[in-house]
Structure 1
Amino acid sequence: MLPDIGVLGPYTYLATEVAFGSVALALLWRAGAVRSAARTIAVLYPVAYVWDWYTLTVGVFSIELRTGVELLGIPVEEHVFIVVVPALVLGVHETLRLRDERD
């Protein structure tokens, strides 16, 4: 059974994003790929933002347990999500690539 993280109330989503973002940053740092990941994320961000804004606007999903703070039409947590997801993917990729280079 998964723990009930809802005890964080409106900060639940933000807290999970910060936790996963910390893992992503640690992986990127370890692989020496923070700068290249930042560049990739900056390029992906506008597309992800429009996609996120659209899906929220048409009601594809709703976000419970969030702060309620919005920035440019989407929850602040979604802005963090748009950065964290590719950062985590790139962090795993770069860590595996680094491991392969060492083998």
Structure 2
Amino acid sequence: MIPDVSAVFGSYTYLASEVVFGAFAAALLYREAAFGRAARTIAVLYPVGFVWDWYTLEIGVFAVTLRTGVDVLGIPLEEHLFIVVVPAFVVAVHETLHSSKE
């Protein structure tokens, strides 16, 4: 059974999950010296992710629950972090899998 961390974090649950996964991504990016590659990927994907999130929230495709309630430019703060963390994590895993380090 998966523990229900929402009982601990409440409205900060989504934010806490982004911080945890972002920390893993940052650790892998640091290990592989890949912050630059991740930053370039995020810079290209962020506008697409922003428009996608804004649109899907506007038309009601999904609702973000267990969040802080802070919106920035029309989407939840946590979604902005999600748009950064996901590509960072993907680049981090890719770089780790293809690392020449032993």
Q: Same fold (TM over 0.5)?
A: yes
1:18 is the counterpart of 2:19: yes
- Counterpart residue identity of residue 55, structure 1: T
Structure 1: runs of 5 or more not aligned: none
1:87 is the counterpart of 2:85: no
TM-score by length of 2: 0.95
Deviation at 1:102, TM superposition (A): 4.1
Pairwise mapping of residues 65-84 of structure 1 onto structure 2 (< 5 A)?
65-84=66-85
Pairwise mapping of residues 40-59 of structure 1 onto structure 2 (< 5 A)?
40-59=41-60
Superposition RMSD in Å: 0.9
- Counterpart residue identity of residue 56, structure 2: T
Tell me, yes or no, if the aligned pair for 2:37 and 2:91 is still in contact at 8 Å. no
- Percent identity for Structure 1 against Structure 2: 64
Residue of structure 2 in register with 1:38 after alignment: 39
Tell me, yes or no, if the aligned pair for 2:12 and 2:67 is still in contact at 8 Å. yes
TM-score by length of 1: 0.94
Pairwise mapping of residues 3-14 of structure 1 onto structure 2 (< 5 A)?
3-7=3-7, 8-14=9-15
- Counterpart residue identity of residue 75, structure 1: P
Q: Distance in 2 between matches of 1:88 and 1:20?
A: 8
Residue of structure 2 in register with 1:2 after alignment: 2
Deviation at 1:36, TM superposition (A): 1.4
Consecutive aligned runs of 4 or more in structure 1 exceeding 2 Å deviation: none
